[in-house]
Chain A
């Protein structure tokens, strides 16, 4: 099924014409209303009138996460606050999160895109959607919720957590579509099994999973354990939230990007050069219909490639491959964004800690775990075990306090954290994604 048969199956030339028109309108608007974009364009010696083609468009400067932080909280908004009806913010980071805003029309656009996504993932208005994405500042919960209502399905706004109650709801309400992070889906399966509830007896048909990277192997495991067809959904709050791209359940092979709203590019993350279809690089998005928070050539730091081949589902939209990595060292641990540098700042605030640490990320029982190894130094070494244990607890508490993520802290001997070419290896990610 295709939700918006016109826009999801446009001939490529017609789509390109729409994109260019919408792009120009967006550029005019940000130039006029967002001082950041105006000064960036001026610094590059470009005015919106200079952009007449996609080639011209490639001369525009990129926008980065740091730019958004620098304009915290509302500096990137392109409309007065009077017209902003919703605010979301990125999760888990210290200092300045990324704040995004939506006009009423943006909310409607987003709901449309999520309705398209749910439909591509197998949902219809007859379905009952168990929405286990977190509701709140995170875009996952409300994004899927509005899409489900737009589609006309019945949505259960169960949000994250309280897993046993979720299993009871799944058993008693008979939802047919599951929306959650892939790791939480597997956790649900385990808890259900412990409670003696078999997914085989539940009514799920499709699952739409995203907000963290996951592999083909994980898809197979989810499909086997949850007895449903699993598809991948992609989005980020800076661009709109979930619903930027969706895998169709027919092909389960790459995610269709809603190009009538977002222009994707793949660039070489070092040179910034635009790469042709099929080549792997950093994904960049430009929003061309958003009002409150448009982004121009926003660098997502996600690594993937674009596939222009026609799809069996009938959509003419480009497909992006599953995300294979990131250009920065950001870790997503149980949905919380964690940068090694943030852990470092926490450690440095604790008396006597040397900046020698390592983060070991693993996935146990389908939940991400973070271990922080910290080298002991003469300054914080003690002959008393309890003092050392207190130090471990103190570090663990500070990380939880500042970053919102639980970490198991382990003190290790000096010089035991591998240093390659004089530079410490900060992160060991053992998760099989």
Chain B
């Protein structure tokens, strides 16, 4: 049920992000989803790609600090209140969302959100018990 996310440490310097995209393009890697969290000094780039192993190697070989984190891809009903329903569930169960971002592609009629939870197993269980669809990693990479 888990999706592997690659994160990359980036200094806030002009052109740094495009260096990452160039490396990934060179390695024939398709970026499925992406988000950047930043401070005044640095940023953390988070990526869902179609080939984790290849992306990790390419980035490490180019001297980047890279991490791999388990995240969860969840289908969100594409209507008002769709996301709220999920967040409300999590809030009541006292599960923290460390961060989240939207997937570019839709899955059928649903939007897809990527979540990073503090308690991932509990979160997945809770979501599934409440009839929400958690998308498998293998599917996400090639969606």
Contacts and interface: CB of A to CB of B under 8 A. Distances in A.
A417 to B, nearest CB: 11
B32 interface: no
Contacts of A414: 9, 63-65
B11 A416 contact: yes
Contacts of A20: none
A385 B9 contact: no
Contact of A376 (B39, B65, B69, B116): B65
Nearest to B6: A383
Interface string B54-88: 00000000011111010000000000000000000
A383 B116 contact: yes
A257 B123 CA distance: 75
B11 A389 contact: no
Contact of B67 (A382, A410, A412, A413): A382
Given A383-B7, A385-B37, A411-B41, A377 B116 contact: no
Nearest to A416: B11
B38 interface: yes
Interface in B102-143: 116
Contacts of B38: 385
Contacts of B46: 383
Given A384-B99, A385-B38, A411-B9, A377 B44 contact: no
Contacts of A410: 41-42
Interface residues of B, number: 21
Contacts of B42: 376, 388, 410-412
A415 interface: yes
B10 interface: yes
A376 B7 CA distance: 13
Contact of A413 (B10, B37, B69): B10
Given A385-B39, A388-B44, A412 B11 contact: yes
Nearest to B71: A383
Nearest to A385: B37
Interface in A375-426: 376-378, 381-385, 388-389, 392, 410-416
Given A384-B44, A414-B9, 9 more contacts: A376-B42, A382-B7, A382-B67, A383-B67, A383-B69, A410-B41, A411-B41, A413-B10, A416-B11
16 contacts: A381-B7, A381-B67, A382-B44, A383-B44, A383-B46, A384-B98, A384-B116, A385-B37, A388-B44, A392-B41, A410-B41, A411-B41, A411-B42, A412-B11, A413-B63, A414-B63
